Structure formats: structure tokens, C-alpha cells
Copies of this chain bind each other. A is one copy, B any other.
């Protein structure tokens, strides 16, 4: 028992030994139990459903007042979810969910060993109805549209929970708590909250603050007393997935200044340290998600994800080493860097015919660069990137750099003051920082300051299931963040125009980048 008592005080599982009642110590059963729990957790109040109160007397007496309790909650909202005799109880689990627009990732955690048991991914089934945030919100204008979208995601979550439980031979009732981190829109759709005002000026969510909901109230089929923690949002364009990321990276605890950038159609940026934190989000354009160019694609088998210079040409590498079918964001950034360094793109981002030579083609009167000839591609057709695609990438990278400049200048620091530059998100995991620096998308910092951090949304959702300290940090983080509205004013446009060059009009900002003379 001692080793159990010594387990992490921040855990949600607590072994409690009580003195049985007597005439001189006649506290009621539930009050006796919660007094111990309140002391252990040092909190003022512990709540529980009536269904658990009903079972308390029998469990206490059966166990001779030695019980294992599972709790979950934050601040003033602690819920006692399960009570079992200490010497006769099953493992208990928590489920962390990264609720992405495109993909939903599940990680089951053993709450006692505090380790991950399984991780699975599904496509967000709402994609079949509407691919992106905007389309989904428009879909809710239809009768029952919101209900339909909500039911789809909840049904998919339940299916996946069933699948996980079958795989591991456990019961869904052993899952005691769930944490869900998603962007503002995905969170609204999950909760069945009308999202229409999110995309209409002045861009107002129904709710930003965090929630703790009974699982059965949301229709999630786990322990009926389980609670679901929903990460809070900062606003319409800065959601719980990012707050979860800030938690996962401990940005709010660091003395040095760090920045987290999540790049997609929107660039979401948060900058700060333990004393202050500022966030903003801006349209980065679809080029980085490769939604524009004909051969652009999201990362998947056969996507060119990496391009490196090779003499006067380059070599490419595809995901799973399949024959190339297209190019994904990280590959496109690499390609632009390689083309620029070899003089095939000029500082304005225009293809240079003299340098591209036979790699340059005209299709419908538009200049194209031949990335992979048809004889090598999976499709048998030429894989080309057009000047239009490149212009789009240039705008995206300029937008990103402008946003980074704007947010740092708003708090009076230089980009070089940033100690750690976290590149988050699935896309961020594949970007080569040196290529991104070469095209002037991100600042010219020493490469070791860049960290690709993968799925920080899932990592943060995991943290709150393992530690009370972490779940309580969430609302602090949310309150701590100042959201900077990006005003697209003249100053912003001037910065944007200067950033549309490769790497930048002011080349002194990129001292390590060699600007080839053409």
C-alpha cells in the first residue's frame, strides 16, 4: 500500500484509508471519504454524482474503508468518478483526443502506470460532408446540419473507443476521463454549439472557456460518470489545440522567450514566456497546405517531401519511397530554396529561363518548372510547378514572415531574441528549417533553435489526464494570452511587400543566406 500511497500526488488515482466510523467519530460515509480526498488534494470541494453516493456505503464496508478513488476535474470542479475496494479493482484509463479538422487522433492512457497504451488515428468523418472549417460552418445553416455534423463526430469517437476496447480486451466503463483539444470550430461542432458567428465579423465563438462535461451528457459511451475536459479557446481563430500545445511545450513556464508556429491555411503563432504571452492568427494562403498547385498534395504516399541540391540539379525523396505523384508543402519549400540558390528563381520569385533551360515549359502560356518528367512519375505525366504556384508560395511565405515580424515588434523584441522556435503540426514536422530560412519564410536563426514538435495538441491533451497541475495550468494559460488582432493596415502591407522577395528586400535580415547573382 505504501508504494501506492507514494504515487504521484498529481495523479487522478488515489488510494485512501479511513478510520471506520464510531460513536465518537460519526461523520457520514460520503463526508468521511471526501474529507480525506480534500486533504490529499488540498482542495475545498469534491463533487460526485448521486449514482456514486449510492454505492459508497457498501464499498467502504466491503473494503474495510480502504478504497481506490478516481477523480478528474480542475480548480473548484473535482469529480469523484469511481470508487472501488483498494484490493480488488480493475485498471482505469483516460483517453486523450486531438480533434483535428482532417484527422482525429486517440491516445489511451493507463491512469495508474501513467503510460500510453495505444494510439490510433481516424479521418474526421465530417470531411465527407464538408472538407474544411468554412464549408462545415456553412453546412450548419441547413436544417439539422449542426446536429448531423455533431452526431457524425460523436459516432466516430464511440466507434473508435469500441475498437480500442475490443483490441485491448478492456471495458469502455474503465475509461474514466477524456480530454479533447481541437480548434474553435471543431470544438463547437462537437458540442453542438452554433458556429455561425465564428466566421462572421466580429468573429464571436459561443464559448471560449474550458468545460468539464459528463460523458453521457455528450453521448460518449464510456463510464457514465466519466467527465470530458474540453480545452478552452482564445477566440475564433486560436483554439484549444494550440493552448494544448502551449501546455505540452511548457512555454508558459520558461524564462526565455519562445515561439510556436502552427502552419496550415492559417498561420497560428504564439510568442512569450512565463511572464507574458501573445498570440495571433492570419491567413497564410493555401500554398503551404499545397491546396493550389496542380501537383500539390497533402503529405501521403508518393508525395515529394524532401528536395536537396545535387550539383546543378536536385534529388527528391518521396513518402514511403513510392513513385512520385505530387509534391507536399515541405517539398515545395525545399524546391523553392533549391531553385533560388541555383539561380533558377530570381529574388522576385520568378523563374529564370536562362537558368531553368529545358526544365522550363510553357503550358497555356504560363511558365512551368518540370519537377519530375513523366517517365519517372507514378502518373506517367510530367509533374510541374507553375509560376502561379510559386507566386502563391511566395505570398504565403511573405505572410508568415510578416506575421512573425508583426507579433515580435508588437511586444518590442527582435526575431533574434527568440530562444526556441517550435514548428508545430503535422506539416511542421516535415519542414526543413534551412530551406524555409533560404526563402525567407522564417527568420535566419541558428538551426538548433528550431524544433519540430509534431502533434502538440495530443501531447497537451495527454498531460491533463496525468496531472492535476497541468489541467489547472490550462485556464491560466488561456487567461495569460493576449490575442493580437492582425490589422491589415499600410504598415502591415509595407512589411508584406518587403517580404515578398527572396529571402527579403533587406538581405541583412538573412545573413546566412547566399543570394546568387544572376
Interface residues of A (CB under 8 A from B): 21-31, 34, 44-45, 47, 49-50, 53-54, 56-58, 75-77, 191-194, 196-197, 201-209, 211, 213, 217-218, 233, 235-236, 485
Contact between chains at A485 and B23 (CB < 8 Å)? yes
User: Given A50-B191, A50-B213, A206 and B57 touching (CB < 8 A)?
Assistant: yes
Q: How far is the CA of A22 from the CA of B235 in the complex (A)?
A: 13
User: Given A76-B76, A209-B30, A50 and B217 touching (CB < 8 A)?
Assistant: yes
A228 to chain B, nearest CB (A): 11
Contact between chains at B204 and A28 (CB < 8 Å)? yes
Contact between chains at A194 and B22 (CB < 8 Å)? no
Residues on the B chain within 8 Å of A76, using CB: 44-45, 76
Contact between chains at A206 and B53 (CB < 8 Å)? yes
| Closest partner residue, chain B, to A204 (CB atom) | B21
Q: How far is the CA of A58 from the CA of B205 in the complex (A)?
A: 12
Sort A-B residue pairs by CB-CB distance and give the 10 closest, nearest first: A30-B207, A28-B205, A28-B208, A76-B76, A23-B202, A21-B204, A28-B207, A22-B202, A21-B202, A29-B206
Contact between chains at A28 and B203 (CB < 8 Å)? no
A128 to chain B, nearest CB (A): 24
Residues on the B chain within 8 Å of A24, using CB: 485
| Closest partner residue, chain B, to A184 (CB atom) | B28
Contact between chains at B192 and A26 (CB < 8 Å)? no
Q: How far is the CA of A205 from the CA of B29 in the complex (A)?
A: 7
| Closest partner residue, chain B, to A212 (CB atom) | B47
Contact between chains at A26 and B235 (CB < 8 Å)? yes
Contact between chains at B208 and A31 (CB < 8 Å)? yes
Q: How far is the CA of A206 from the CA of B31 in the complex (A)?
A: 8
Contact between chains at A27 and B191 (CB < 8 Å)? no
Q: How far is the CA of A42 from the CA of B386 in the complex (A)?
A: 61
Contact between chains at B193 and A53 (CB < 8 Å)? yes
Residues on the B chain within 8 Å of A57, using CB: 193-194, 196-197, 204, 206
Contact between chains at A31 and B209 (CB < 8 Å)? yes
Contact between chains at B30 and A192 (CB < 8 Å)? no
| Closest partner residue, chain B, to A483 (CB atom) | B26
8 of the cross-chain contacts (CB-CB < 8 Å) are A21-B202, A23-B485, A50-B192, A50-B213, A53-B207, A54-B193, A57-B197, A76-B76
Residues on the B chain within 8 Å of A54, using CB: 192-194, 206
Residues on the B chain within 8 Å of A45, using CB: 75-76
User: Given A45-B76, A50-B217, A192-B50, A206 and B58 touching (CB < 8 A)?
Assistant: no
Contact between chains at B29 and A197 (CB < 8 Å)? yes
User: Given A45-B76, A50-B192, A217-B50, A202 and B26 touching (CB < 8 A)?
Assistant: yes
| Closest partner residue, chain B, to A47 (CB atom) | B77
Residues on the B chain within 8 Å of A49, using CB: 217
Residues on the B chain within 8 Å of A235, using CB: 26, 28
Q: Which of B31, B191, B202, B211 contacts A207 (CB 8 A)?
A: B31
Residues on the B chain within 8 Å of A205, using CB: 28-29
Not counting A23-B485, A29-B207, a sample of 20 additional A-B residue pairs whose C-beta atoms are within 8 angstroms of each other reads A21-B204, A23-B202, A26-B203, A26-B204, A28-B207, A28-B209, A29-B204, A29-B206, A30-B206, A30-B208, A44-B76, A49-B217, A50-B192, A50-B213, A53-B191, A56-B206, A57-B194, A57-B197, A57-B206, A76-B76
Contact between chains at B23 and A206 (CB < 8 Å)? no
Residues on the B chain within 8 Å of A233, using CB: 28
Residues on the B chain within 8 Å of A192, using CB: 50, 54
User: Given A30-B207, A485-B23, A50 and B218 touching (CB < 8 A)?
Assistant: yes
| Closest partner residue, chain B, to A207 (CB atom) | B30
| Closest partner residue, chain B, to A34 (CB atom) | B209
Q: How far is the CA of A201 from the CA of B28 in the complex (A)?
A: 13
Q: How far is the CA of A21 from the CA of B485 in the complex (A)?
A: 15
Q: How far is the CA of A235 from the CA of B29 in the complex (A)?
A: 11
A56 to chain B, nearest CB (A): 6
A72 to chain B, nearest CB (A): 16
Contact between chains at A23 and B208 (CB < 8 Å)? no
